[in-house]
Amino acid sequence: MTALTSLTIGAALELMRAGEISALALTEAHLARIEALDGAIGAYLTVTAELARSQAEAADRARAAGEDKPLMGVPIALKDVLSTTGIETTCGSKILKGYKPVFDATAVARLHEAGAVLLGKLNMDEFAMGSSTENSGYQLTRNPWNLERVPGGSSGGSAAAVSANMALASLGSDTGGSIRQPAAFCGLSAIKPSYGRVSRYGLIAYGSSFDQTGPLARDVEDVARILGVIAGHDPLDSTSMPAAVPDYVAGLEGDITGVRIGLPAEYFAEGLQPEVEAAVRAAAAQFEALGAEVSEVSLRHAEYCLPAYYIIAMAEASANLARYDGVRFGARVEGADLIDGYKKTRGAGFGDEVKRRIMLGTYALSAGYYDAYYGKAQAVRTLIRREFDALFAEVDALLAPVAPTTAFAFGEAMEDPLRMILADVLTISANLAGICGLSVPCGFDGAGLPIGMQLLGAPFTEARLLRLGAAYQRATEWHLRAPDLA
């Protein structure tokens, strides 16, 4: 039998339903692997071993009584940006050290309702600000394919845990590529849902008009299983759309003959690692072989995505992070008076990257600069959204690289904030426009590092993207490879 920690969710559910393995045995196997490997990987900030065992035992009792749920007994882990009742939730920041929410995020509550088992909380760039997980206030997370390389960010812990078989799947958050890029760096499948598809309630905010929660897993089918559980309208989130949620798993078998796929010329520009471009173009040829129609298209406003995104995102970060003052929750540094306490708490609690983004965002929102920066960026965002709308009238999906390069070495981009920002240059447009994006493995570079492609679709067309991704994975084997961590 395949090692329990190497199973897909679908395979694990089959074995549990057949009585060949128990949820407790599956959970114990994952806890043992975390114990053995996470000292080297650094994916987990908190391991909830006793909770996981009790949830697994409850799943086994319920299954024995004839009950069945979509994720019953499946061990999953969560990015530490999602609120969990009574479990420390830090956002990778020292300013939230010791903070234990009194409620679950809606996505987390839906996982519990579906019978999932929570293994723990995962490392991340502080407040999701970064592309390598080097900005965590606690520890480095290493890429299981090469321990000297970053796992991507900001959901680096979410990607590393699944890639190293320390969870069957995980949840991350994507503000500008933070699900898709680490999935690509670690050889996983993952989706950034359309804005409004998954509730943001309990997802601690970085950029409120960008943030979305989504799953990372071994293959597209597992991604579809989890998305089907966490998606759907939530009255607790005013931005949650009351749109019907399709049966994503049932839709995976559909034919892709005649599906129109566009290759945006601007996403294959100078600076792209040659092996990345070759792999994505080979994927385009594979889609043609499967019956899709592939053509070149253009996004004329692509060059404006990066500046528009960072102005708006930093402005939203400035507003959202104003609440961390040491008074109501998290860490506190005493001062001579209230204002001095604020300054000392925020000075000690926030890392350099978070401080940088707060200051830039505050500047962009300040009197005399608001119209020139924030207002102009919002106008550009509207143009970008309209251009995507026009493109999706011509094609059904876009195909592009996820990142310009494969996983880079630790320290390579830390001294150059602009270089780190450019790691997101191919992903941020989806967040600006509120569209959905699926990351799928499509090859390896000469150093043995995974390469990821992304399929982008119009809002609420996740089912089509998943069908395309599943068709590609039925025809290829990139997603079946795993890092050697012996």
Catalytic amino acids? 79, 154, 178
* Burial state string for 109-124 with b = 16 or more CB within 10 A and e = fewer than 16: bbbeebbbbbbbbbbb
Enclosing H/E stretch for 171: strand 169-174
The CA–CA distances, whole Å, from 280 to 34, 176, 178, 239, 338 equal: 33, 20, 20, 34, 55
User: What torsion, rounded to 10 degrees, do the Cα atoms 203, 207, 208, 211 define?
Assistant: -50
Q: Which H/E stretch holds residue 388? A: helix 376-391
Tabulate helix, strand, coil % of the chain (nearest 5). 45, 15, 40
Contact, 217 vs 209, CB < 8 A?
Answer: no
CA 102 remoteness from chain centre: 24
> In whole angstroms, how far apart are CA 134 and each of 83, 122, 131, 232, 274?
22, 14, 8, 33, 26
**Strand order across the beta sheet in which 212-217 lies:** 44-47, 117-122, 75-79, 169-174, 212-217, 189-192, 436-444, 450-457, 397-401, 260-264, 293-297
- H or E element that contains 289: helix 274-289
Asked if residue 179 lies in contact with residue 198, where contact means CB atoms within 8 angstroms, the answer is no
Question: How many CB atoms sit inside 10 A of residue 46's CB?
Answer: 18
DSSP 8-state symbol, 81: T
Q: Which residue has the tokens 């003052």?
A: 325
Q: How far apart are CA 421 and CA 188, in angstroms?
A: 22
Measured at the CA of 436, the angle between CA 433 and CA 438, to 5 degrees, comes to 135
C-alpha pair distances (Å), 219 with each of 29, 43, 187:
20, 20, 10
Contact status, residue 388 vs residue 431, Cβ threshold 8 Å = no
DSSP type of residue 403: S
Question: Which one-letter DSSP state was computed for residue 407?
Answer: P
Tokens (6 digits) for 124: 């991340």
Read off the amino acid at residue 114: A
